Chain A
Amino acid sequence: MGAGIAAAAIPAVPALIAPAGGEAATPTQAEALAGALGVEQLAVFCYRHALTSGTLGPVASALANAFLVQEQAHAAALQARAGTLGVAIPPPPADVTEADRALEALHVRDLSTARTQKHLIALLETLEEVSEGTYYVLLGATGEAALLELAAQIMGNEAQHAMWLRALMTPRDVMKIVPSAFAEGRH
């Protein structure tokens, strides 16, 4: 796949990420919605990849399966809102190369080099935090009531995903599993 297609997969995501040494500009509603949807589609791809990699143990697989279903529900709900609001729907990544490019734009490690459960869970946890961050941005960028409620509901669920993935990495340490009173993710 060409770089153009990869870039188009999540056109709004770079606008949500602060450049080194500076603050990101406030995105429009369309950019923020497309960015959140792009990250959801990327999460669906990464969970599927992790589940088919054969490297996850039974507990991690059970979590990943459950979270994949929920990410698919998020993506479907966001696509419906995007359609209603006339926002262009970004295409999901077609393969690992495209996913890696999208992850790189988000400052998340490559999927292709994550070959152990530890690395895959760390990647998924980081991606969940990025997803939380897209909703933090979206809540500030839109005034549309239905989209605000949807974004808040999904943001809470992404925070739960990130929390349980952290619990896999650092069991028994609640300070690391639920580290902050403000689950705003990475943005």
Chain B
Amino acid sequence: MTSDESLHDHRSRRALLRGAGVTVAAGAALGLTACGGTRHHHVPADPVAARADVALLNAAIDAEYHAIAAYTAGIPILGGRQRDAAKQFLNQDLTHATELISLIKKAGGAAHDRSPSYDLGHPQTPAEVLALLHGVERSLIRTYLQMIPRLQPGVTRSVVGSMLANEAEHVSMLRAHLGLAPVPAAFVSGNE
């Protein structure tokens, strides 16, 4: 399979994901399954590289599950535009998790399950929820930045890069809602 075919497969599947929509319900948030994509399976030729990719992608899915749990718990405390943004970001992180599950399956691995619980602290106010979400999104960016140089197939790096860029959008919007400078650095690091 060529890289172009693989890229086309990613685009088609993501178009389906967008079209189908992803529910915000907590049950769906915590019960993800891989979708579609059975026609073209891109498996790295090097099985050692594939195993390494699976480990990296599973680290990312762990971080996405954490973020999904944080949004699911925090959204009821938010209101107005903050709530609207958080719902949108939850949907997008759910989509990332679904994509990661698919990438892991294509690399010949098994995706991690969600943890039974996550330590989210005890946010009580909108500001505390936003701070929690800011923290988990920054952690996601650091995870993606660490893994991208170590992933093998170029198309996987590109797709993961596009998810990192979406997390950077989330962080920027959350910073604005927290009253922080929304775009403080020319190079996204996950420390801002």
Contact = CB atoms under 8 A, between A and B. Distances in A.
B154 interface: yes
Contacts of A23: 4, 7-8
Interface in A60-82: 66-67, 69-71, 73-74, 77
Nearest to B87: A174
A74 B164 contact: no
B168 A160 contact: yes
Nearest to B153: A140
Interface in B88-108: 88-89, 91-93, 95-96, 99
Contacts of A174: 81, 84-85, 88, 173
Interface string A133-158: 00111011101011011111111111
Contacts of B12: none
Interface of A: 23, 26, 66-67, 69-71, 73-74, 77, 132, 135-137, 139-141, 143, 145-146, 148-161, 163-164, 172, 174-175, 177-178, 180-185
A177 B84 CA distance: 12
B163 interface: yes
B101 to A, nearest CB: 14
Q: How large is the interface on B (under 10, 10 to 19, 20 to 34, 35 or more residues)?
A: 35 or more
Give the interface SS of chain A, mostly helix, strand, loop or mixed: helix
A145 B146 CA distance: 10
A132 B162 CA distance: 9
A180 B159 CA distance: 13
A178 B85 contact: yes
Given A152-B144, A180-B18, A136 B158 contact: yes
B88 to A, nearest CB: 5
A145 B149 contact: yes
A154 B187 contact: yes
Nearest to A25: B4
A98 B170 CA distance: 35
Contact of A181 (B163, B183, B188): B163
Contact of A164 (B165, B167, B172): B172
B80 to A, nearest CB: 10
